[in-house]
C-alpha cells in the first residue's frame, strides 16, 4: 500500500492545479476587459458625493461606467461651448436654469421616452431637450417645542413677517444656488418691490444668514432658531436623525430647485445617454439617493418614492423666464444693499 502513496499524492496535486486553473480561467473569461466596458461622461454641478453614489450604482446595474466630472456652473457652460465641435460630455446633470441657458447655445439634443413622458410638463423642456429628474422645495422647518406653544401655526410667508417674537434661520442667498432660487422665484411671482419688502420684514428676525443649506435646519433642531427657511432634503435628513422638527409647507406657494438631465449634441453614446437618463427617473435611482441620505422629490410621479411624498398638493412657484447671469447678479446686489446690509 505504501508504494502507491507517492502516486496518490502526485495525482492529487495534478488534480488540484487542474481544477484551480480551470476555475481561474473560467472567472477570467467571465470578466469584461476594461476596454470593452461602455463608458459615458457626465458633466454635473451636483456635489461629488451625490453624483458618485449614482454613478457607482448605475455601473453595477447596467455595466456602463459613468465618468463624473463635477464643475461649477460657469465652468460647465464654458466647457460645453468650447467643446461644441468635439464634445467630451455625453450627459449634463445640473439645475434647470443652467440647462435652459445651455439650450440657447444649441448644445442639447432632444430625448423622449416612456419615462420622460410621465414627467409633468412644468418639470421638462417642451421639446424634450432636458428633463427634470427631481426637485427640492423650500419649506419652513419649525422647532417642535416652539410650535407647541402657538395658538396659530405660521403657514404663509406673510405669517413669518407678522410674527414679532420669531427667530429665523436662513441660508445666505450669496452662498448657495438653492437659497438664491427663493429670491429669483419670488421676484418672478410677486415682483421686485414686493419681494424686497417681504425680505426686509423678515431681516430683523434672522438670527443667522448661514453659509450652508444644512445649518438653518440644524439650528431649528437645536432650538437656536424657531423656524428655518430651508430646503426640504436637508430637513428630512435631520428629522430622520431624530431632531425635533416639523415641516410646514407654505400655503401661499414656495420655490423649488429643479435638477434635470440632458444629452449633449454630437455625443457618440446617444443610446447609453438615453438609458442613463431614463434610469435616473426610476425608483432605483431614488433608492440609492435615499440610502445615502439625499431626500429629493422625484419628477416622475409614478414612482414609489413620489407616492411616499407627504404633501403632493404643495403649491410650487415657477420663475419664468429663466434669468440670465447678469439679471441674477443685479437682483442679488439689490438684496444685499436693501436687505442684507440694512441695520436691524
Contacts of 228 (CB under 8 A, 6+ apart): 140, 141, 142, 168, 169, 170, 216, 217, 219, 220, 235
Residue 197's alpha-carbon distances to 185, 202, 235, 329, in angstroms, are 15, 9, 27, 19
Find out whether 69 and 89 touch, Cβ atoms under 8 Å.
yes
Q: For the whole model, what pTM was predicted?
A: 0.88
Query: How far is 135 from 128, CA to CA, in rounded Å?
Result: 18
DSSP character at residue 124: B
pLDDT tens for each residue of the chain, 344 residues long:
444 444 444 444 444 443 444 443 344 344 445 555 789 999 999 999 999 999 999 999 999 999 999 999 999 999 999 999 999 999 999 999 999 999 999 999 999 999 999 999 999 999 999 999 999 999 999 999 999 989 899 999 999 999 989 999 999 999 999 999 999 999 999 999 999 999 999 999 999 999 999 999 999 999 999 999 999 999 999 999 999 999 999 999 999 999 999 999 999 999 999 999 999 999 999 999 999 999 999 999 999 999 988 888 899 999 888 888 899 999 999 999 999 988 65
Q: Delineate the domains of the chain, giving CATH numbers in brackets.
A: 36-135+257-307 (3.40.190.10), 136-255+319-340 (3.40.190.10)
Question: SS3 of 307, please?
Answer: helix
Query: How far is 317 from 325, CA to CA, in rounded Å?
Result: 20
Query: How far is 61 from 225, CA to CA, in rounded Å?
Result: 43
Instruction: Identify the residue whose cell numbers are 435631520.
Output: 238
Instruction: Identify the residue whose cell numbers are 445649518.
Output: 215
User: What sections of the chain are H helices per DSSP?
Assistant: 5-30, 48-62, 73-82, 96-103, 114-118, 144-148, 157-162, 177-190, 192-202, 214-221, 232-240, 270-280, 283-291, 304-307, 325-335
Q: Identify the pLDDT of residue 319.
A: 86
Q: Identify the pLDDT of residue 320.
A: 83
Q: Identify the pLDDT of residue 322.
A: 82
Query: How far is 304 from 233, CA to CA, in rounded Å?
Result: 17
C-alpha cell at 65: 461606467
Q: Identify the pLDDT of residue 29.
A: 40
Query: How far is 13 from 11, CA to CA, in rounded Å?
Result: 6
Residue 260's alpha-carbon distances to 92, 119, 152, in angstroms, are 8, 11, 38
Amino acid at each position: 500500500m505504501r508504494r502507491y502513496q507517492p502516486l496518490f499524492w502526485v495525482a492529487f496535486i495534478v488534480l488540484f492545479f487542474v481544477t484551480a486553473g480551470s476555475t481561474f480561467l473560467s472567472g477570467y473569461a467571465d470578466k469584461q476587459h476594461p476596454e470593452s466596458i461602455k463608458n459615458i461622461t457626465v458633466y454635473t454641478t451636483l456635489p461629488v458625493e451625490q453624483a458618485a453614489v449614482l454613478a457607482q450604482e448605475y455601473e453595477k446595474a447596467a455595466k456602463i461606467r459613468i465618468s463624473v466630472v463635477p464643475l461649477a456652473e460657469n465652468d460647465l457652460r464654458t466647457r460645453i461651448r468650447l467643446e461644441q465641435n468635439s464634445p467630451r460630455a455625453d450627459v449634463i446633470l445640473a439645475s434647470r436654469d443652467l440647462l435652459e441657458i445651455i439650450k440657447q447655445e444649441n448644445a442639447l439634443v432632444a430625448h423622449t421616452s416612456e419615462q420622460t413622458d410621465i414627467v409633468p410638463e412644468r418639470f421638462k423642456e417642451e421639446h424634450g431637450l432636458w428633463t427634470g429628474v427631481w426637485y427640492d422645495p423650500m419649506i419652513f422647518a419649525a422647532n417642535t417645542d416652539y410650535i407647541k406653544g402657538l395658538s396659530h401655526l405660521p403657514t404663509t410667508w406673510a405669517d413669518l413677517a407678522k410674527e414679532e417674537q420669531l427667530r429665523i434661520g436662513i441660508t445666505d442667498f450669496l452662498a448657495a444656488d438653492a437659497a438664491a432660487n427663493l429670491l429669483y422665484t419670488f421676484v418672478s411671482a410677486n415682483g421686485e418691490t414686493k419681494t424686497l419688502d417681504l425680505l426686509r420684514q423678515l431681516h430683523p428676525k434672522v438670527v443667522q444668514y448661514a453659509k450652508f443649506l444644512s445649518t438653518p435646519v440644524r439650528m431649528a433642531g437645536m432650538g437656536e432658531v424657531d423656524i428655518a427657511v430651508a430646503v426640504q432634503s436637508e430637513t428630512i435628513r435631520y428629522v430622520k436623525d431624530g431632531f425635533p422638527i416639523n415641516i410646514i409647507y407654505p400655503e401661499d406657494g414656495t420655490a423649488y430647485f429643479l435638477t434635470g438631465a440632458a444629452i449633449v449634441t454630437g455625443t457618440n453614446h446617444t443610446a447609453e445617454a438615453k438609458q442613463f437618463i431614463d434610469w435616473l427617473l426610476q425608483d432605483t435611482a431614488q433608492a440609492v439617493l435615499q440610502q445615502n441620505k439625499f431626500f429629493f422629490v422625484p419628477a416622475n410621479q409614478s414612482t414609489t418614492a413620489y407616492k411616499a411624498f407627504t404633501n403632493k398638493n404643495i403649491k410650487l412657484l415657477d420663475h419664468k423666464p429663466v434669468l440670465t447671469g447678469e439679471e441674477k447678479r443685479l437682483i442679488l446686489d439689490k438684496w444685499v444693499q436693501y436687505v442684507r446690509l440694512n441695520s436691524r
